[in-house]
Amino acid sequence: MKIIPGPASKQLGEKIAELLNAETVPVAFKTFPDGESYIRLEGKVQNEEVFIVQTTSPPQDAKIIQLAFIADAAKRNGAKKVTAIVPYLAYARQDKAFLPGEAISIEAIARMLKASGVDSLITVNVHQEKVLNKFQFPAKSVSAIPLLAEYFKSKGYVGAFALAPDKGAMQIAEEARKVLGGECGYLEKRRDRYTGQISVEKKKFEVSGKTAIIFDDIISTGGTIAAAAKILKELGAEKVYAACVHPLLIGDAEKRILEAGVEEIVGTDSVPSHVSKVSIAPLISKEIREHKSG
């Protein structure tokens, strides 16, 4: 077995290899002046089962192409099985045509990865589990929420209220509650399909004077977390924290969230950023141990 740390997840890939005591195959990569990607494997993969670690956070398209090229190079050079470890799986939110004429983006990506040589895929907190059915090879999502909740537990926030900013994240808040031992709840969020504007319905939670932590899979523009944080503050929460698996933090997302009263944003290294305080390396290495053939 060999680990191939892709350019988008070099540190994470190396950390995973270290935990598994596995050899890595470095990837040389560059972008040509016209914008095309180039990759080359700097090690042998002949007859090996390989695990490519490559997240697909922005710029998604370039990172997906790099992943496809690495898979192609691995198969071309004799790898017997290629598993793509894609901590943040881009395009997972477009799993159906919401409006007439739209592409089902994740289905097109799944076909492309298969054609490039990927035999199976592991991702982390995919936006919706049903997306995995779009892949014509085994695809699995594992959850980093217990690791995020453990981070807060280790800081002493036992019993904190775990809030899901929308109904879709309720399972996430429930997972966090199991670790934190307090209560959990969810808000109702609606998004305008044309403008992208969100509206969040206020609900009554018993958070007055308490610490509340908002758990979500993704922070993109920060609008969702900021709206949820404002509601928690209005309900009298003493301290509000935000936790997410994939801290995309687009534009002024961080500023927006902090201005809404959030004390700290905690993410994972699924998407490397300065808020990536929790590593998913132990989770992924455990998964690889269980996943690898023979």
The residues carrying an active-site annotation are 189
Which residue, 39 or 219, is less far from ligand R5P as judged by CB?
Answer: 219
Which residue, 167 or 289, is less far from ligand R5P as judged by CB?
Answer: 167
Q: Nearest approach, Cβ of 273 to ligand R5P (angstroms)?
A: 13
Strand, coil or helix: what is 166? Answer: coil
Cα distances (Å, whole numbers) of residue 176 to 117, 148, 280: 36, 8, 16
Cα distances (Å, whole numbers) of residue 79 to 13, 49, 117, 293: 18, 6, 10, 13
8 Å CB contact between 48 and 42: no
Q: Nearest approach, Cβ of 249 to ligand R5P (angstroms)?
A: 9
Which residue, 120 or 171, is less far from ligand R5P as judged by CB?
Answer: 171
Residue 258: other Cβ atoms inside 10 A? 17
Q: Which amino acid is at 216?
A: D
Which residue, 217 or 269, is less far from ligand R5P as judged by CB?
Answer: 217
Q: Backbone dihedral region of 78: left (phi > 0), alpha (psi from -120 to 50 degrees) or beta?
A: left
Report CA Rg, the chain: 20
Among 204, 254, 266, 264, which residue's Cα sits nearest to residue 232?
204
Alpha-carbon gap, residue 134 to 112, rounded angstroms? 12
Which residue, 195 or 208, is less far from ligand R5P as judged by CB?
Answer: 195
Where does this chain bind ligand R5P (CB under 6 A)?
165-166, 168-169, 216-224
Among 254, 278, 255, which residue's Cα sits nearest to residue 266?
278
Q: Nearest approach, Cβ of 280 to ligand R5P (angstroms)?
A: 17
